[in-house]
Amino acid sequence: RKLGKLTIKYNRKDLQRWLDLEEWINAQLQELYQCRAAAPEPQIDLEDLLEVPNEEQKIKLQV
């Protein structure tokens, strides 16, 4: 049985970038909301954020 031939939209590098971006977003949200559990989660399109070249522009997109 081949395990490497599953239907995958993204390669390993893209998945790692996605994970890094999710962690960055979580850190930004925790800083913004100071870890309040009751705060609603904003809807952020990760694919759009992956296309943004630097952190400063990512912050501008979120505001």
| Residue 25 domain-assigned (yes or no) | yes
CA angle (11, 13, 15) in 5-degree steps: 70
| Residue 3 domain-assigned (yes or no) | no
| Residue 1 domain-assigned (yes or no) | no
Q: Residue 37 belongs to what domain range?
A: 12-62
| Residue 6 domain-assigned (yes or no) | no
Q: How far is CA 24 from the centre of its chain?
A: 7
Phi, psi of 52 (to 5 degrees): -80, 130
| Residue 58 domain-assigned (yes or no) | yes
Q: Give the pLDDT of residue 2.
A: 53
pTM over 0.85: no
> How many angstroms separate the CA atoms of 14 and 60, rounded?
23
| Total domains, the chain | 1
pLDDT, tens only, 3-61 = 555 556 668 888 888 889 999 988 888 888 775 655 566 677 777 777 777 766 666 66
Q: Give the pLDDT of residue 11.
A: 80
Q: Which helix H or strand E contains 44, and what residues bound it?
A: none
| Residue 57 domain-assigned (yes or no) | yes
